[in-house]
Amino acid sequence: MSTRSAAPRPASPSAERPAQRARRVQQILRRLKERYPQVGLPLVHRDPFQLLVATILSAQTTDIMVNRITPVLFQRYPTPQALADARARDVERIIKPTGFFRQKTKAITHMSRSLLERFGGRVPLTMEDLITLEGVGRKTANVVLSAKRLEVWNGGDNPADGLGIGVDTHVRRLSQRLGLATSDDPETIEQQLMAIIPRAEWDTFSLRLIYFGREVCTAKRPRCLQCPLNALCPSAPFRGNPPWMRHRRPRGGGRGPGAGRLRRRPKR
């Protein structure tokens, strides 16, 4: 843990001035970096297509479960063409353990057809194009665009690609507890975070919060007494259950974002 003096912990998100928040954000980022110097995407993949499919499959399940079934899926259907031509019941059988397997089968096979019909079989690397694909919302698109920056595809950083901050259930919960976001809506939270986090940190900030949310600031039992962000966190005196979050219904139960939305529309 850092020995530098902490920015004062605000009594609540609304009690903090922008300059104070900016200073606190810098210290939060520093401490998260100290804890997680290197971060990578938890979904196993070899290319943008595999990452896109794996991220769609990760709705309402764990990354561990997705990583268990994707080797079989990608061995049998390694390309958009193969998945587009697949029989639905064969795909369903493979991905069944991830839940919502009929909707997910439809999403990944239709998405593969769209890649062939509209993008020459390649995953487009802009937010604008990605969110036109079946099953792909801003969160999934942000995962792909983050990987484009963090991994050695042909991408790298491009401010025009539309990268934002991926908001899953951990990012949403921690942003609210840390008093960095006041909304319950993932897209509004994303906008609020983008306004205070430097762009260069957007991809790694999201990943670090996810790891931190799994290990320390968990949904049910946040470890506030051992938490390296304790002195910076307005929720610490409330053991992670501050008054400004009490009216909110817990969503996702520690799983992927968009919980509940998948029943109607597998777009994340």
| Binding of residue 230 to ligand SF4 (CB under 6 A) | yes
Which residue, chain included where needed, has tokens 């990944």? 108
Contact indicator for 54, 66 with CB cutoff of 8 Å:
yes
220 is catalytic: no
Cα–Cα distance list, 252 to 75, 83, 141, 238 (Å): 30, 28, 19, 22
| Binding of residue 229 to ligand SF4 (CB under 6 A) | yes
| Binding of residue 236 to ligand SF4 (CB under 6 A) | yes
The structure tokens listed for 152 are 């050695």
Catalytic residue among 148, 168, 203, 267: 168
Contact indicator for 48, 153 with CB cutoff of 8 Å:
yes
Which of 80, 135, 166, 240 lies at the binding interface for ligand SF4 (CB under 6 A)?
Answer: 240
139 is catalytic: yes
Size of the site for ligand SF4 (CB under 6 A): 14
Which of 235, 255, 258, 268 lies at the binding interface for ligand SF4 (CB under 6 A)?
Answer: 235
| Binding of residue 217 to ligand SF4 (CB under 6 A) | yes
The structure tokens listed for 237 are 């005196």
Q: Closest CB to ligand SF4 among 46 and 223?
A: 223
Distance CA 242, CA 260 (A): 24
Sign, Cα dihedral of 198, 192, 210, 72 = negative
DSSP 76: H
DSSP 176: H
Stretch 139-198 residues interacting with ligand SF4 (CB under 6 A):
177-178
Catalytic residues, by residue number, are 139, 168
Q: Which parts of this chain interact with ligand SF4 (CB under 6 A)?
A: 177-178, 216-217, 222-224, 227, 229-230, 233, 235-236, 240
